[in-house]
Chains A and B, each alone.
Chain A
Amino acid sequence: MWLAKEEHLESISIGAGILGTGGGGNPYIGQLRARQALREHGPVTVLDPEELDPDSQIVCVGGIGAPTVGIEKVRDWQAYHALRAIEEFTGKEATALISNEIGGSNSLEPLIPAAMAGLPVVDADGMGRAFPEFQMKTFFVHGVPYCPMAICDEKGNTVIIPNAISAKWAERLARAATIQMGCVACYAVAPMSARQVMETSVHHTLSLARDLGDAVKVARAGQQDPISAILKTHPGRVLFSGKVVDVERRTVGGFARGSVVIEGLDDHRGESMAIEFQNENLIARRDGQPVCTVPDLICLVETERGEPITTELLRYGFRVTVLGFPAPDLWTGPEGLAVVGPRAFGYDLDYTPLVV
């Protein structure tokens, strides 16, 4: 158990930026919003999954919408209203909240309703990284019901989806409502039990994000290598190191797709790496050969400062290091790969686990 305070937010943002594998959007506003909530309502208790009372009712909350709208119509406390709406609909009172993803600003989203409602958050999430869609959560892949769910906007509108025939359908319906609401909604899913959280969430990811951010900040302050500081905190591998020489982008079905080509420097001189992304980085190929595939994490950080780089900021000339981290075990079985494996994203490629 620990207390999430204002001074942790920057570290969590850096760490969630790394674990966000290029997705998750601009972390600045998420950080400001969480800071405002903590200033107004005080710090939030973070519970280990092991510390959960067996009778716990844990509600997963998250933002849904378009990051490009969120920088203009800045999100409020929609997640708090979604929490209250799902409590009312299910007749169950939440005892803790959990993050849907640890990548980007969604990693901080539960802190806002938690601070307002005086509830703890669980040190765990439903992805262990970032993914673009609602159904892509370890909870749902491993049998936790995705409905009922509540979606709330900033105006006071609430939509409840009591049932959907699949998590993918829940995503479609929620997305349609979100667009009508003006694209910066939040959702809350009916409570999970402590056992469900123990078995189907990726554990200790909020503290991992905090520790990764701390490691990067300490390395920067001491003029040390942030990359080795990251790898000391979380086991992974340097997949490549070089300079961005080409970025190609297009929007397909509402998602930012594209690829980035990195030309090797230092140990990788003479080689090149291409990374394909759809919001998140999905496939890394060195000299044409796949070396890391989704759901394993492919993270781009600025070589010098260890700053995570989201796909929308990629551009010619950046000195980057590509880090690979193994996916949480909950993703690497057949059920997980069916939802987030390379083929689920349209690549004619099998998942090959990264060896660290």
Chain B
Amino acid sequence: MLIGIDVGGTNTDAVLMDGTTLLAKAKTPTSGDVTSGIMAALEKVLSGIPVQLIAGVMLGTTHFTNALLERRGLAPTAVVRLSLPATRLLPPLVDWPNDLRNAMGGFTYMASGGYEFDGREISPLDFDELGEIVRDIRQKGVEAVAVSGVFSPVNPTQEREAGAFIQRELPHVQITLSHENGRVGLLERENAAALNACLAKVGERSISSIKQAMEAMGLTAPLYLSQNDGTLMDESFAARFPVFAIASGPTNSMRGGAHLSGLSDCIIVDVGGTTTDIGALVNGFPREASLAVNIAGVRTNFRMPDVVSIALGGGSIVRPETLPEPLAVGPESVGFRLGVQALVFGGSTLTATDVAVAGGLAQLGDPALVSGLDTELGRRTLQQIKQRIETVVDQVKLSPSPVPVVLVGGGSLLVGESLVGASQVLRPEHGDVANAIGAAIAQVGGQIEKVFSLEDVGRDEAMASIRAEAIDRAVAAGAMPGTVEVVELDEIPLTYLPGNATLIRAKAVGDLRISPRG
């Protein structure tokens, strides 16, 4: 049996699953320290179940996002870029918010190194120069170092050598190499590495505190963390790469929705209390954003799901038309006070939930309290909700043909039986805990991106080598060899370059390697 937990802004949800069968589910309020809320949810779903039967705990958490947003517990961090004589105009951390930069030390260095687009060295590493940098880093009391090199996704050798050198000189520091975050785009990749480095201490501490709390409950099963690309990482990998756990919530909802509906290509609409997240699922995984993703004010090229969020949910406040103002649903929401402030619960605020109850879409609270609601107002409110969701569904679709739409989340009762652009509308059972289910059923993945000169290498050879590397990465991340499949393979031709230069990106996923315990 497996436990899936998803920490959201309002609720921490947990599920107990036996294979693909849901045995128990629980919703508890998210706690300020996150960990105690996780434990409360764990206790609820475990009630009466012998802990020895649990083979793994899968957790999607906001620990690391919160640490960045609150600038709390960040390790003093240095960034060493291998690039000279190139890229001097824009040093590392150049566009970071000042307070975040101060909170993580923000020590930056540039040194010889880096590669050209075709793999030639810009310059070789200079270990005397690196030695100087290490001496300075030591004096500054740095605890984590990010190493970035120009075109390291094409050739990671220099980053590895420089990283090993720094580690030898400074055995106590945590080292993040930028190519392990994958993507081409120096500033964004370097930012991601620096964010990861400064989260090193938070990562270690929060994982060990969760592990201790689990052990206190007698729960010795391994802990896995959800990544924002919909796959899992084991606790030791997570301690090294806490940055991958950021924003895993929407991904978990989408994966859970896919599981509950049995579909691998569809649109998932997760209607919460305040917002609705809408994204496309391709081959069972959320489609990733192609644009830069901003985290705590820092531009990164993370592997984030391409999710469109709109301010619409069960708690959205409905303001009837007062000419010339049109009818409005949201953006304000009563949020977690829904159970007190909505009309059906005896409150005085007209919310989307009240309209749904009056319209017979939902049975909640006391329907008599909304029996006098203007039916025309109700009809138009639901019509507006439907149209706004339809617009976004259309925006995230990959092609004009109708696709299945899966509704999950507590607020999904606001949406009627049909949506324009949807071939069918599914509303799976247990959709209210789709996020925790998504965490529980996640697989393990590996991803890689490299530039090849197809004139030199040949397309078949390039494809074969990138597939093999993606599979190796999935296995290294904890996937069972033999179950790993390449699920995404993209080729992006690069303009203005000779030799048919092409960026190839591959992603492989497989089942989690786990010892079954019943």
> Which among A68-76, A160-168, A208-216 touches the partner chain?
A68-76
Q: Is B400 positioned at the interface, with any CB of A under 8 Å from its CB? A: yes
Q: Please report whether the interface of chain B is mostly helix, strand, loop or mixed according to DSSP.
A: loop
CB-nearest residue of chain B to A175: B496
B:493-515 near A, CB below 8 Å: 493-498, 503
Q: Are B184 and A71 closer than 8 Å at their CB atoms?
A: yes
B495 touches A256 (CB 8 A): yes
A279 touches B495 (CB 8 A): yes
> Which of these binds chain B: A30-38, A96-104, A325-333?
A30-38
Known: A28-B292, A32-B90. A69 touches B497 (CB 8 A): yes
For this complex, 21 residue pairs linking A to B, each with C-beta atoms less than 8 Å apart, are: A67-B496, A68-B497, A71-B185, A72-B151, A73-B117, A73-B122, A74-B87, A74-B186, A74-B187, A75-B89, A154-B87, A154-B88, A155-B86, A243-B394, A245-B400, A251-B494, A251-B495, A279-B495, A316-B397, A316-B399, A319-B395
A76 touches B88 (CB 8 A): yes
CB–CB B186/A73 < 8 A? yes
* Nearest chain A CB to B233 CB, angstrom units: 26
Given contacts A69-B117, A245-B400, 12 further A-B contacts (CB under 8 A): A36-B94, A66-B496, A67-B495, A67-B496, A69-B497, A73-B83, A73-B86, A73-B87, A76-B86, A112-B89, A182-B116, A251-B494
Q: A32-B95, A73-B116, A317-B394 are in contact. Are A66 and B86 (CB under 8 A)?
A: no
Interchain CB contact (< 8 A) of B89 among A76, A179, A183, A251: A76
Q: State A337–B158 Cα separation when bound (angstroms).
A: 49
**Is B496's CB under 8 angstroms from A77's CB?**
no
Asked if residues A255 and B86 are in contact (CB atoms below 8 Å), the reply is: no
Residues of A within 8 A of B299 (CB): 28
Q: Contacts of B150 on A, CB cut-off 8 Å? A: 72-73
Q: Which residues of A contact B116 (CB under 8 A)?
A: 73, 182-183
In the complex, whether A338 has a CB less than 8 A from a CB of chain B is no
Are B122 and A182 within 8 A (Cβ)? yes
Closest Cβ neighbor of B494 among chain A residues? A68
Write the A22-50 contact mask toward B (1 if CB under 8 angstroms, else 0).
00000011001100110000000000000
State whether B89 touches A72 (Cβ < 8 A). Answer: no
Residues from chain B with a CB closer than 8 A to the CB of A72 are 117, 150-151, 184-186
Give bound CA distance, A318 to B306, whole Å: 14
Chain A, 40-96, CB within 8 A of any chain B CB: 65-69, 71-77
Chain A residue with Cβ nearest B500 = A251
The residues in B between 280 and 307 inclusive whose CB is less than 8 angstroms from any CB of A are 290-292, 299
Query: Do residues A251 and B186 form an inter-chain contact, with CB atoms below 8 A?
Result: no
The CA-CA distance from A154 to B151 in the complex, in Å, is 15
What 1/0 flags go to B384-396 for Cβ under 8 Å of A? 0000000000111
Interchain CB contact under 8 A, A66 and B495: yes
Contact B498 A254 (CB under 8 A): yes
User: Among residues 245 to 266 in chain A, which have CB atoms less than 8 Å away from a CB atom of chain B?
Assistant: 245, 250-251, 254-256, 263
Q: Closest A residue to B393 by CB, please name it.
A: A317
Q: Which residues of B95-138 are within 8 A (CB) of A?
A: 95, 114, 116-117, 120, 122
User: Whose C-beta in chain B lies nearest to the C-beta of A256?
Assistant: B495
- A residues neighboring B (CB under 8 Å): 28-29, 32-33, 36-37, 65-69, 71-77, 112, 154-156, 175, 179, 182-184, 243, 245, 250-251, 254-256, 263, 279, 313, 315-319
User: What chain A residues lie within 8 Å of B496 (beta carbons)?
Assistant: 65-68, 175, 183, 254-255
Establish whether residues A317 and B89, one from each chain, have CB atoms under 8 Å apart when the complex forms.
no
Residues of the B chain whose Cβ atoms lie less than 8 Å from the Cβ of A37: 89
CB contact between A29 and one of B187, B396, B503 (< 8 Å): that residue: B187
Report whether B89 and A71 are in contact in the complex, using a CB–CB cutoff of 8 Å. Answer: no
Contacts of B94 in A (CB 8 A): 32, 36
Which B residue sits closest to A156, measured CB to CB?
B85
User: A75 vs B394: C-alpha distance in the bound complex, in angstroms?
Assistant: 38
B398 interface residue, CB < 8 Å from A? Answer: yes
Q: How far is the CB of B152 from chain A (nearest CB, A)?
A: 9
- Tell me, in angstroms, the Cα distance from A255 to B292 when the chains sit together: 23
List the interface of chain B (C-beta within 8 A of A). Answer: 83, 85-90, 94-95, 114, 116-117, 120, 122, 150-151, 184-187, 290-292, 299, 394-400, 493-498, 503
Are B85 and A154 neighbours in the complex by a CB distance under 8 Å? yes
Q: When chains A and B are docked, how far (Å) is the Cα of A317 from the Cα of B280?
A: 12
What is the chain A residue whose CB lies nearest that of B94? A32
Q: How far is the CA of A259 from the CA of B211 in the complex (A)?
A: 54
Write the chain B residue with the least CB distance to A37. B89
Q: Are A255 and B95 in contact (CB under 8 A)?
A: no
A36 touches B90 (CB 8 A): yes
- Tell whether, in the assembled complex, residue A76 and residue B87 are in contact, meaning their CB atoms are under 8 Å apart: yes
Considering the complex of A and B, which 10 residue pairs feature the smallest CB-CB distances, nearest first?
A251-B493, A66-B496, A182-B116, A317-B395, A68-B494, A76-B89, A154-B86, A74-B87, A256-B495, A69-B117
Bound together, the chains give a CA A256 to CA B503 distance in angstroms of 14
- Report A-chain residues with C-beta under 8 Å of the C-beta of B186: 71-74
A254 close to B290 (CB less than 8 A): no
Residues of chain B with a CB closer than 8 A to A251's CB: 493-495
Chain B positions within 8 Å of A254 at CB level: 495-498
Find chain A residues with CB under 8 A from B396 CB: 317
Q: How far is the CB of A266 from chain B (nearest CB, A)?
A: 13
Which A residues are CB-close (under 8 A) to B394? 243, 317
- Smallest distance from the beta carbon of A190 to chain B beta carbons, Å? 24
Determine which residue in A28, A77, A156, A263 has the highest number of CB atoms from chain B within 10 A of its CB, and name it. Answer: A28
Most-contacted residue by chain B among A37, A72, A251, A315 (CB, 10 A):
A72
Residues of A near B397 (CB, < 8 A) are 316-317
Bound-state CA distance A67–B292 (Å) is: 16
Q: A139 to B151: give the CA distance in the assembly, Å.
A: 36
Most buried by A among B88, B151, B299, B495: B495
Measured in the bound complex, the distance between the Cα atoms of B120 and A36 in whole Å is: 28
Does A313 contact B89, Cβ atoms closer than 8 Å? no
Q: Which residue of A lies closest to B503 (CB)?
A: A68
Contact (A183, B184) CB under 8 Å given A32-B94, A313-B290: no
**C-alpha spacing A72/B152, complex, angstroms:** 9
Query: How far does the alpha carbon of A183 sit from the alpha carbon of B89 in the complex, in Å?
Result: 17
Cα separation A39 to B478 with both chains bound (whole Å):
47
Please indicate the chain B residues that have their CB under 8 angstroms from the CB of A69 in the complex.
Answer: 117, 494, 497
Closest to A317 in B: B395
Most chain B beta-carbon neighbours within 10 Å: one of A69, A76, A184: A69
Is A66 in contact with B184, judged by CB distance below 8 angstroms?
no
* Chain A residues, CB < 8 A from B120: 182
A73 and B88: CB pair below 8 A? Answer: no
Q: A residues within 8 A CB of B398? A: 316
A282 to B166, CA, bound (A): 52
Contacts of B399 in A (CB 8 A): 316
Within the assembled complex, what's the spacing in Å between the Cα atoms of A271 and B150?
47
Q: Which chain B residues border A28 with CB–CB below 8 Å?
A: 292, 299
B291–A155 CB distance below 8 A: no
- B95: nearest chain-A partner, CB-CB: A32
CA A87 – CA B496 in complex, angstroms? 28
A345 to B292, alpha carbons, bound, how many Å? Answer: 32
Tell me which residues across on chain B come within 8 A of A155, comparing CB atoms. Answer: 85-86, 122
A318: nearest chain-B partner, CB-CB: B395
**Which A residues touch B497, using CB under 8 A?**
66, 68-69, 179, 183, 254
Give B91's nearest chain A residue, CB to CB. A36
Closest Cβ of chain B: how far from A139's Cβ, in Å? Answer: 22
Q: How far is the CA of A32 from the CA of B292 in the complex (A)?
A: 15
Q: What's the Cα separation between A182 and B398 when bound, in Å?
A: 36
CB distance from A76 to the nearest CB of B (A): 4
Residue A68 contacts which of B85, B95, B291, B495 (CB distance < 8 angstroms)?
B495
Residues of B within 8 A of A317 (CB): 394-397
Closest to A249 in B: B493
- Contact across chains for A36 and B495 when beta carbons are under 8 A apart: no
Residues of B within 8 A of A73 (CB): 83, 86-87, 114, 116-117, 122, 150-151, 186
Chain A residue numbers with a CB within 8 Å of B498 are 179, 254
